Amino acid sequence: MSVITISKEFASGGLDIANNLAAKLSYDYLDKEIVKQVADHTKVSHQEVRDFEEEGHINIRAYLSRIIDLDIFKENSASNSDEEIETTYDERDKIPYSFDTQGWIDSDIYREMICKIVSELGQRPNVVIVGRGGQCILHEQSNVINIRIIAAMNDRIARLKIDNPDLSDNKAKKQIEAMDKKSQEYIKFYFKEDWSDPKLYDVVLNTSRVSDQKAVSWLAELCS
């Protein structure tokens, strides 16, 4: 199996499992690399892409991009470049325009970028792709195994408090629920899928029932 996608509930241990699985299999771990590629192609900062990933599917810019043509802002943003390429709306509608954007990102551009980049990364051998709808984008690809990591709320609270010992159980739970809600809304907004739907995954692994070490061992054997 050459491509693995990892989807995770917040504080379920999914990130550690993904990192350790990639290391055990000697696979490339792809997370920040995706942000870098989106930033490079859109000519915006890495931080702006990270910020947009956090809120871009629910903020005003995402909403506006669905109801008005934002080309005027993209053109203004591109006006500082040495060379400008005129592209009509009709031409843009036929030819993916995202890789010609200069200093602008909205929900349509972001979705197109993510689909293109994750699809291209999914053609590379031996990679672990974390988050960003990889389970949706690569779902029909035969050499991909889509994994979801979950855990009981009490165990997730305990994990979160390891690095945040002063956090109350109630605040930890609210933080976990807020992060899960963002992930759910991200998948719904960009891919019109239910993030928690088990049919999106080949394996759903509960770290409340299986230790991280055992999970990595099982998954490594499955993916070898």
pLDDT in tens, 174-202: 999 999 999 999 999 999 999 999 999 99
- Does residue 132 lie in a domain region? yes
With beta carbons less than 8 A apart as the criterion, state whether 203 and 4 touch.
no
**For the whole model, what pTM was predicted?**
0.77
CATH number of the CATH domain containing 206: 3.40.50.300
> What is the pLDDT at residue 81?
44
Cα–Cα distance measured from residue 8 to residue 220, given in angstroms and rounded to the nearest whole number: 17
- Does residue 159 lie in a domain region? yes
- Does residue 55 lie in a domain region? no
Q: What range defines the domain where residue 162 resides?
A: 1-27+126-224
Number of structural domains the chain divides into: 1
Low-confidence spans in the chain with pLDDT less than 70:
1, 56-102
- Does residue 47 lie in a domain region? no
Q: Report which secondary-structure segment, H or E, holds 80.
A: none
β-bridge mates for residue 55, sequence order: none
- Does residue 86 lie in a domain region? no
- Does residue 6 lie in a domain region? yes
> What is the pLDDT at residue 1?
62
Query: Encoding tokens for residue 59?
Result: 């903020």
Query: Encoding tokens for residue 62?
Result: 């995402």
> What is the pLDDT at residue 50?
84
- Does residue 211 lie in a domain region? yes
Q: Report which secondary-structure segment, H or E, holds 6.
A: strand 3-8
- Does residue 43 lie in a domain region? no
Cα–Cα distance measured from residue 42 to residue 104, given in angstroms and rounded to the nearest whole number: 6
User: Helix H segments across the chain?
Assistant: 14-25, 32-42, 46-55, 60-67, 71-78, 89-94, 107-121, 134-137, 153-163, 169-191, 212-223
Q: How many CA atoms lie within 13 A of 26 on its CB side?
A: 1
> What is the pLDDT at residue 220?
95
